[in-house]
Amino acid sequence: MKRSLLAPIISLLGMMIVFSVWLALAQPPPPPIVVDSFADGPGTCPGPGCTLRQALLTAGSGDTITFSGPGTIFVNQVGGLGPLPVLGGGVTISAGVNQIILDGGSSLSTDPPLPYALLIDSDDNVIQGLQIQNFEDDAIVIANGNGNLIGGTGPGQGNVILLNGGDGIVLDASGTQPSGNTIQGNLIGTEMTGSSVQANAGVGVRLINGSDYNLIGGTTSTATNIISGNSGGGIVIDGSSNNLVQGNRIGLDGASGGVIGLGNGTTPADSGVHITNGSDDNEINDNAIAASSGDGIAAVDSAGTLIIDNRIGLDAAFGLLGIANGGYGLRLDNATGSSVSANAIAANDLGGVFITGGSTNNTVSTNLIGLAANGTTAIPNSGSGIVVGNAASNLIDDNTIAANIGDGVVIDGGTLNTISNNRIGLNQSLAASGNGGSGVSIVNAAAGTAITDNTIANNGAAGVSASGGTGTTITGNTMFSNTGLGIDLGGDGVTLNDPGDPDIGPNGLQNFPVIASALFDGIVTTLSGNLNSTPNTDFTLEFFSNGTCDPSDYGEAETVLAASVGVTSNAAGNILFTTDLSGLAVGEFVTVTATNDTTGATSEFGLCEVVDYAEPVASFNASPLSGTAPLAVSFSDTSTGVIDTYFWDFDDGSTSTQQNPSYSFTQPGLYFVTLTVTGPGGSDSFTRLITVTAPGSNPPPTQTPTAQVVVAPSGTPTGSVTPTTAATLTATVTASASPTVTLTTTPSPTRTATATQTRTFTPTWT
């Protein structure tokens, strides 16, 4: 049997790898190649007269190129030498403490433009501490290289890239995919202090053609790139995925802690960060992005973008100063599956967040929109907080949306968008900070919008305004102190009910329910009312309470009551409803909405009804109900409702005001004992018969019918009756299990006729 060679081959390869690692570690690093000539041309390296051009030709993997002192190298100024040689792999260029300037001399050169200052098409190269300026095109280009580092987190490792005719840094994977490259600690578009603009004509950093898995910035302050002042925008990610942009100042200065806006871009299309052309699963995290001519962040034709914990339109230091982006703080355009969370988005010229262009399944959650990073200071976006335009199935959840000049949230077209669990018109401390328009506005052909479990208050127009749209479901929301109606269908004030609800308009102008009474019995409040709408339709009624009624007398919804009631209209479209609710106090106002279970359309709030006391209902038990004199009877109150006073009348001239008295009847007789209870809702009385017999007499049956016995004889009695004058009819009931009833008619004065009929029945006894 043949023995497999796989195991020994793997073992041998492992040994070779271990030996190679040991050998590399055991070898001392080669001495640096020191550039001591700042001319651009051939030289001798190592040795006197070593130029940067020659050093790049000489250097191999593991070599470091350093400089003997500060200086400026004018590239391609004499003799048409062309661009500097390509970094060959594993090469480090480090200026150290020296200020080394690479100057393309674009304003002086008569030679053909250089396509770049430095080009990397290999792996593991490092460029640190250079100032790269005045090149006709891009400054640094990484084409098809992996694991390269531009800048660094140590002192003097960052590069200053300014005044170039193209982009600052380009990662281009038009050939082999570059990945794992890092750009940290650089100043791109400013001078070396980061305090003033020295613009690159293109963008600060551009990733194109499948440049994936790269890092721009980092988690430490020394990893921060200052990307500001660039004419074409801050960062562009074009057709590249899985990149991380973290901890950068984009559009802000680097000298004052990021409180001065230097901007990026010159047109509305230029963004602080622009993600486009199928760039998927990129993450924009913990950046300060401000003063862009266009949007702060734009994700266009992309999927799976994570936008987390950024300050957009605010300073980098504390997030307390508004520094506007010229467009929206964030725009999602034909974007799918993006997550926007924990950002502070304020002061932007067009609004906070714009979701448009067929964007679907995006989530915007836990953001501060219209507020500083502290969650309380109002820094309005000049438009609305969030606008969803012609986009579907997006979720707006758990955001604090306050102080914006326009509406809090706008749904403009699109389907099946959800707005839930947000605070709209309050800051993070729940203090009033209203938006200038409505809390939520539904316009145009929006369909199937769900507005659920939000707190919507203090806004300058309605809580929810639906001037368009169908099937807007509005449930579980707390609404108060809005200038307009809590819910306004049509945007024109209260829409009164119409019989049969045949009208058309936003939400079909769904009729609202009418509460006829709200009566508190001391335990629960019983609401009774009616709804007239479309026939044979299921509805859900939702009830709310308010300390004061809205000035319109309709709504709002300061407290959502626990109960929602499902009801169905009859063939005439009518519904009568009654429900018991706990937790309400007399003097509060209740109101109700109706939601059509088929269409999802919710009505405006119905008229307020004040909670009042229910009339008490008197009732009591007595024990015993009969017996011989003297008879001691204990009375037990079983009345319901709010009761202030009790009054007992024992039918013998005696009374009591106790709730549960005892009384002794000393004389035989029939006593009709009456309890009258009185409360804020009125009075009620209840009577029971107490039977007292003389000692030694046959006691009456202990059973007592619970209801009045009505005898209606039938058939033909025996005998004849010929009254000549008015007669007296007497009915006698003999108490037994099967009593006999005898009817006797006695005319007056001289003639007598008797008719007797016997009926047997079995009454119910207690």
Taking the alpha carbons of 344, 350, 351, 355 in that order, is the dihedral positive or negative?
Answer: negative
Q: What's residue 3's pLDDT?
A: 37
For residue 748, is pLDDT > 90? no
Cα–Cα distance measured from residue 544 to residue 521, given in angstroms and rounded to the nearest whole number: 19
Q: Span 494-503, mean pLDDT? A: 96
Contact at 8 Å (CB) between 716 and 755?
no
Q: What's residue 611's pLDDT?
A: 98
Q: Span 596-611, mean pLDDT? A: 98
Q: What's residue 272's pLDDT?
A: 99
What is the average pLDDT score of the chain?
89
Cα–Cα distance measured from residue 310 to residue 244, given in angstroms and rounded to the nearest whole number: 13
Tokens found for residue 626: 């009969």
Q: Does CATH place domain 620-693 in 2.60.40.10? A: yes
Cis, bond preceding 630 (omega within 30 deg of 0) = yes
Q: State the CB neighbour count (10 A cutoff) for residue 290.
A: 34
Q: Span 563-592, mean pLDDT? A: 96
Q: What's residue 69's pLDDT?
A: 96
- Ramachandran assignment for 373, one of left (phi > 0), alpha (psi -120 to 50 degrees), beta (any other): alpha
Residue 177: pLDDT band with limits 50, 70, 90:
low
Residue 111: pLDDT band with limits 50, 70, 90:
low
Cis, bond preceding 46 (omega within 30 deg of 0) = yes
Residue 390: pLDDT band with limits 50, 70, 90:
very high
653 φ, ψ (degrees, to nearest 5): 95, -10
Cα–Cα–Cα angle for 440, 446, 450, nearest 5°?
A: 55
pLDDT digits (tens, 9 = 90+) for 400-458: 999 999 999 999 999 999 999 999 999 999 999 999 999 999 999 999 999 999 999 99
Could you give the 3-state DSSP secondary structure of residue 597?
Answer: coil
Give percent of the chain with pLDDT exceeding 90. 82
Work out the burial of residue 753: count CB atoms within 10 Å of its CB; fewer than 13 is exposed, 13-18 middle, 19 or more buried. middle
Cα–Cα distance measured from residue 510 to residue 503, given in angstroms and rounded to the nearest whole number: 8
Tokens found for residue 106: 């674009």
Cα–Cα–Cα angle for 448, 451, 456, nearest 5°?
A: 150
Q: What's residue 237's pLDDT?
A: 99
For residue 8, is pLDDT > 50? no
For residue 180, is pLDDT > 50? yes
Q: What's residue 751's pLDDT?
A: 35
Tokens found for residue 5: 């060679």
Q: What's residue 431's pLDDT?
A: 99
Cα–Cα distance measured from residue 621 to residue 505, given in angstroms and rounded to the nearest whole number: 58
Could you give the 3-state DSSP secondary structure of residue 291?
Answer: coil
Strand partners, 656: 648
Report pTM. Answer: 0.85
For residue 722, is pLDDT > 60? no
**CB proximity list for 261: less than 8 A, separation 6 or greater:** 251, 252, 253, 290, 291, 323, 324
For residue 644, is pLDDT > 70? yes
Contact at 8 Å (CB) between 235 and 202?
no
Going by their DSSP bridges, the two strands 384-389 and 351-356 should be labelled as: parallel
- Report in angstroms the alpha-carbon separations of 666 from 550, 654, 693: 62, 12, 10
Cα–Cα distance measured from residue 32 to residue 567, given in angstroms and rounded to the nearest whole number: 85
Widest CA span of the chain, in angstroms? 163
**CB proximity list for 554: less than 8 A, separation 6 or greater:** 485, 486, 494, 512, 591, 604, 605, 606, 607, 608
Contact at 8 Å (CB) between 391 and 412?
no
For residue 664, is pLDDT > 50? yes
For residue 720, is pLDDT > 80? no
Residue recorded with tokens 């960060």: 273
For residue 63, is pLDDT > 70? yes
Q: Span 267-295, mean pLDDT? A: 98
For residue 135, is pLDDT > 90? yes
Q: What's residue 218's pLDDT?
A: 98
Q: Span 299-303, mean pLDDT? A: 98
Q: What's residue 11's pLDDT?
A: 52
Strand partners, 300: 333
Closest CA to 498 of 516, 510, 480: 510
pLDDT digits (tens, 9 = 90+) for 16-47: 344 444 444 446 778 999 999 999 999 999 98
For residue 708, is pLDDT > 80? no
Residue recorded with tokens 């018109």: 425
Same fold: 506-545+554-613 with 620-693: yes
Residue 729: pLDDT band with limits 50, 70, 90:
very low
Q: What's residue 696's pLDDT?
A: 81
Show me where the domains of the chain are located: 506-545+554-613, 620-693
Strand partners, 353: 330, 386
Q: What's residue 39's pLDDT?
A: 93
Range of lowest pLDDT (48-52, 139-143, 179-183, 703-707): 703-707
Cα–Cα distance measured from residue 547 to residue 559, given in angstroms and rounded to the nearest whole number: 9
**CB proximity list for 712: less than 8 A, separation 6 or greater:** none
Buried b (16+ CB within 10 A) or exposed e, 579-617: bebeebebebbbbbbbbbeebbbbbbbbbbbebebbbbe
14 φ, ψ (degrees, to nearest 5): -60, -45
Q: What is the CATH number of domain 506-545+554-613?
A: 2.60.40.230
